[in-house]
């Protein structure tokens, strides 16, 4: 019996998430594996020797990977993904917050149409998006996302002007607004807010509450939704990815799950 060739996956960026994905896929005897990556022109080659390095989206597209996974950030997504899609390459994206830019969303849609390719949004650090996508078909009345983190985890954001992380004693909701407003004011939280909004009621109808809680031990994401389907509440407490504490372990696992799903013959 001949063994089917392993599908080839390329990554944009080779940081914590790409590394985690590469190691986990390589450890499987079959299935997709990372064979190439796209690095920024000026960045050092710091990838395993068996992985081909490309420096432009054109070169990567010409190598015809079966799937590209963007795990490099919002700017990299805008810079490379439209060209890959237009060249007919499917791309899974993890930097969903970039989709708060309506013009970029439109560019991606047009590029995918032109190339006959697909953009696959990855759930990242949150879950429950399958339910939102299904429920919105019959109509969603309201979706609220609450992001709860320990006070110090909001350092470096506008939240620092609202409370003192060292002395806060009780939970404080320091931001309430739409997902679009939240993503703009708190770009580091944009991926989760945008993923929920785009699966459900959109960037302008999704309510966001951001909370600093001295009792929180992890970054926590809660979703509450109601509509014709009934009601839903979802909560996840994320542990960090050891190689990048700013990224949650679940976000890396969610890319792996999306890649496996993209090539699965029977996904159960």
Ligand X SMILES: NC(=O)c1ccc[n+]([C@@H]2O[C@H](COP(=O)([O-])OP(=O)(O)OC[C@H]3O[C@@H](n4cnc5c(N)ncnc54)[C@H](O)[C@@H]3O)[C@@H](O)[C@H]2O)c1
Contact 206, 193 (CB under 8 A): yes
- Residue 68, interface with ligand X (CB under 6 A)? no
Stretch that binds ligand X, among 10-18, 137-145, 206-214, 223-231 (CB under 6 A): 10-18
How far, in Å, CA of 45 to CA of 204, rounded? 41
- Residue 73, interface with ligand X (CB under 6 A)? yes
- Residue 63, interface with ligand X (CB under 6 A)? no
Minimum CB separation of residue 4 from ligand X in Å reads: 29
Minimum CB separation of residue 88 from ligand X in Å reads: 20
Catalytic residue among 75, 80, 221, 249: 221
- Residue 71, interface with ligand X (CB under 6 A)? yes
- Residue 244, interface with ligand X (CB under 6 A)? yes
- Residue 219, interface with ligand X (CB under 6 A)? no
- Residue 16, interface with ligand X (CB under 6 A)? yes
257: tokens are 């799950």
C-alpha distances in Å from residue 242, one per residue of 171, 205, 215, 247, 250: 27, 35, 22, 9, 11
CA 134 to chain centroid, in Å, comes to 19
Catalytic site positions:
221
Chain residues binding ligand X by CB under 6 A are: 12-18, 38-40, 43, 71-76, 79, 94-96, 124-125, 191-192, 195, 244, 247, 251
């Amino acid at each position: 019996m001949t063994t089917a060739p392993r599908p080839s996956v390329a990554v944009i960026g080779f940081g914590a998430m790409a590394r985690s994905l590469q190691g986990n896929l390589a450890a499987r005897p079959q299935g997709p594996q990372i064979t190439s990556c796209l690095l920024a022109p000026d960045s050092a080659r710091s990838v395993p020797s068996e992985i081909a390095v490309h420096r432009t989206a054109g070169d990567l597209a010409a190598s015809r990977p079966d799937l590209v996974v963007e795990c490099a950030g919002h700017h990299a997504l805008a810079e490379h993904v439209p060209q890959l899609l237009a060249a007919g390459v499917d791309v899974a994206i993890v930097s969903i917050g970039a989709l708060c830019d309506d013009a970029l969303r439109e560019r991606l849609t047009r590029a995918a149409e032109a190339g006959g390719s697909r953009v696959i949004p990855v759930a990242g650090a949150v879950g429950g998006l399958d339910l939102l996508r299904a429920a919105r078909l019959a109509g969603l009345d309201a979706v609220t996302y609450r992001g709860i983190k320990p006070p110090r985890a909001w350092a470096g954001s506008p939240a620092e002007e609202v409370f003192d992380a060292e002395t806060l004693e009780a939970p404080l909701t320091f931001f309430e607004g739409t997902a679009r407003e939240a993503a703009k004011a708190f770009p580091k939280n944009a991926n989760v807010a945008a993923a929920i909004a785009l699966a459900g009621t959109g960037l302008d109808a999704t309510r966001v509450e951001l909370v600093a809680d001295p009792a929180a031990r992890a970054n926590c994401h809660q979703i509450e939704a109601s509509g014709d389907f009934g009601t839903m509440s979802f909560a996840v407490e994320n542990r960090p990815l050891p190689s990048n504490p700013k990224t949650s372990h679940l976000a890396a696992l969610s890319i792996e799950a999306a890649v496996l799903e993209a090539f699965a013959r029977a996904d159960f």
